[in-house]
Amino acid sequence: MDLSSNLILVIVVTSIATFASRFLGILTAEKISDKSKLFDWFNCVAYSILAALTARMVIFPAGALLESTLLIRLIVISISIAVFIYSKKNLVLPTILSFIFFTILSSIN
């Protein structure tokens, strides 16, 4: 098998896995109350995975983040969290500001 057929196979398999889980979610969504303990558990798991991935990017960076110092990454994430809380959980504003602050702080360093 050549590289292009391997890529097509990977795309097909990941697409099937993604859409199968979404389809099962649609089938079961009406049966799960958003006030239930099961829903709360899934919500906690999702947030913990997101927190772990964010922490991994800050502590063990890859790619372009490797060129920045840990202090810069911690400053930017602290500012982003503060803006997120101050802006009543708006996701757009801290995302844009984190890019701006990271660019400024990285250029100073």
Q: Write the pLDDT tens digit of every residue in 2-58.
A: 666 778 888 889 999 888 988 888 888 777 777 888 888 988 999 899 889 988 988
Residue 3, pLDDT score = 61
| More confidently predicted of 62 and 5 | 62
Residue 65, pLDDT score = 85
Residue 70, pLDDT score = 92
Residue 2, pLDDT score = 64
pLDDT over 80 (residue 96): yes
Q: 72: which residues sit within 8 A by CB, 6+ positions away?
A: 102, 105, 106, 109
Residue 109, pLDDT score = 67
Inter-helix orientation angle 70-86/92-108, to 10°: 150
Contact in structure between 105 and 75 (CB atoms under 8 Å): yes
Give me the mean pLDDT over the 81-94 stretch: 91
